[in-house]
Amino acid sequence: MQISTRRAALLILGQFLSLVLILILIKTTTSSLMLLGIGFMPFSIAGFVGAIFPFGGKYQKYRPRIDKINFSYSKDLLNLGLFFFVIQIAFIIQYQTANFIIAQNFGTEDVVSYNVVFKYFGLLEMISIIFVAPFWSASTEAFMKGDIPWIRSSIKHYNRLNVLLEGGVSLCYWQEGSELWLGKGTVDIDFQLSLWGFHFSMSPFLVRVYRFFKWY
């Protein structure tokens, strides 16, 4: 198994363990930010192990070292890093200012409705990312072996999974999902808003697979 595949598997395992631990804490303890942070620890530990552990054995010769740094590339790397920094700032402005705009133009109650819809469909987007993560390294290996039919077949299966997960589950069971999450009658959300949330989250769903499978 490729080392990148094993690392993806570790990350998925860490996310699953974090979810299980958070559910246990919700059922057995009172609300606490400290306990919430502890709940996310398995995911962080899995990422650390997946990045560090392999370089202590078979791939030790590829381990990053300070004495191997070529500072002649620092200017180009810093310029590239600056571009990514600007992109991240633009991303934060675009998504984090939405609450202020909604509150200013529609009222604070609509901020709650917007965030519920955004978080609800965002959860399914996270599940989609978990499913597709192992295929990133697998598609690279398949491309190097010239197994293009496998890549095309995987894309078709992934698209079907998206339609089933996003369309069949999230939208059709929107009311049940929101009541299970928030409790019945807690927040009254117009179905039209959830429909727009569905369209907003569906677009990256369909595009993401082609970002992972770059060649076909």
Place of tokens 């079907």: 160
Judge contact between 193 and 114, C-beta under 8 A.
yes
Percentage of the chain surpassing pLDDT 90? 1
What is the per-residue pLDDT for 216?
44
Judge contact between 145 and 215, C-beta under 8 A.
no
Work out the number of other CB atoms within 10 angstroms of the CB of residue 103. Answer: 14
| CB contact set of 140 (below 8 Å; sequence gap of 6+) | 2, 4
pLDDT(132) > 50: yes
Place of tokens 């190097």: 144
* Residue type present at position 112: V
DSSP-assigned states of every residue in 57-88: TTTGGGS--GGG--GGGHHHHHHHHHHHHHHH
What is the per-residue pLDDT for 211?
66
Confidence of residue 52 (pLDDT cuts 50, 70, 90): confident
Average pLDDT on 64-73 reads: 81
- What is the model's pTM? 0.55
Residue 104 tokens, joined:
């200013």
What is the per-residue pLDDT for 1?
45
- Cα–Cα distances in Å, from 139 out to 183, 206, 207? 42, 17, 16
Q: What are the boundaries of each domain within the chain?
A: 1-70, 108-216
Place of tokens 């919700």: 26
Query: Rounded to whole angstroms, how far apart are CA atoms 53 and 211?
Result: 28
CA Rg value for the chain? 21
Judge contact between 121 and 170, C-beta under 8 A.
yes
Residues 112-115: contacts with CB within 8 Å, 24+ apart?
A: 112/187, 113/187, 113/188, 113/189, 113/190, 113/193, 114/193
| Model pLDDT for residues 162-184, shown as the tens digit of each residue | 777 666 677 777 777 777 777 77
Confidence of residue 26 (pLDDT cuts 50, 70, 90): confident
